[in-house]
Amino acid sequence: MAAIIVLFTDFGLAGPYIGQVKTVLHQIAPGVPVIDLFADLPAAKPQPAAYLLAAYGGWFPPGTVILAIVDPGVGGKRAAVIVQADSRWYVGPDNGLFEIVTRRADQARSWEIPAPAEAISASFHGRDLFAPVAGLLARGDPLAGRLRPEGILRHPDWPDDLAEIVYIDRYGNAMTGLRAALIPDGARLAAAGRGLG
């Protein structure tokens, strides 16, 4: 099974950003399918996205490359990383987005992506920095980056399960940062005093 690339962003599908990212991916890794998973994550909020990524990422086949970008610090000093968690690859900003995926993985390693040789846009690392790295991974190029020590946590203060609503889907279903398997039988959830489910 050839690789697929999965997009997990707050860019919006209809505006100009996803299309530019897909153009870069196509140029670097032609023929590799690119799947839109989320394009409407809560804008500029890595924390809820981190729990959604942990809930959804593990469903994809081994070898999948997930390009995950919710990056309010773009152009600042946050690092850019590749994370391998179990058998999948994640590429994006080192701002906590991969915190929960990493904690829940049986095996996880990460690499820091070196700064590109040529000047790139300060505001669109998704297109100019992260997409090229994801494309190279998906086409099987050797990984370029510096392996980081294990155990780096960006947000040790974030709980393993987050008792908040992190996404509301088109039907009005509210998703939380809690793992269903850890909720006791018969438990009832409430938000703002109102019962859920």
Helices and strands, counts by H and E, the chain: 5, 11
Which long-range contacts (C-beta less than 8 Å, at least 24 apart) are formed by 15-23?
17/124, 17/126, 17/127, 20/124, 20/127, 21/67, 21/126, 21/127, 21/131
Based on the shown chain and the rule CB under 8 A, indicate whether residue 164 belongs to the binding site for a second copy. Answer: no
Considering beta carbons, is residue 48 or 110 the nearer one to a second copy?
A: 48
Based on the shown chain and the rule CB under 8 A, indicate whether residue 71 belongs to the binding site for a second copy. Answer: no
Interacting residue with a second copy among 1, 180, 181, 182 (CB under 8 A) = 1
Based on the shown chain and the rule CB under 8 A, indicate whether residue 89 belongs to the binding site for a second copy. Answer: no
Based on the shown chain and the rule CB under 8 A, indicate whether residue 197 belongs to the binding site for a second copy. Answer: no
Based on the shown chain and the rule CB under 8 A, indicate whether residue 37 belongs to the binding site for a second copy. Answer: yes
Considering beta carbons, is residue 24 or 108 the nearer one to a second copy?
A: 24
Q: Which stretch binds a second copy (CB under 8 A): 24-32, 78-86, 95-103, 153-161?
A: 24-32
Sign of CA dihedral 72, 78, 79, 83: negative
Q: What three-state secondary structure class fits 47?
A: helix
Contact assessment for residue 101 and residue 85, using Cβ atoms and an 8 Å cutoff: yes
Q: What three-state secondary structure class fits 164?
A: strand
By the criterion CB under 8 A, which residues form the site for a second copy? 1-2, 4, 6, 10-20, 22-23, 26-27, 30, 33, 35-40, 43-44, 52, 56, 59-61, 167, 169-171
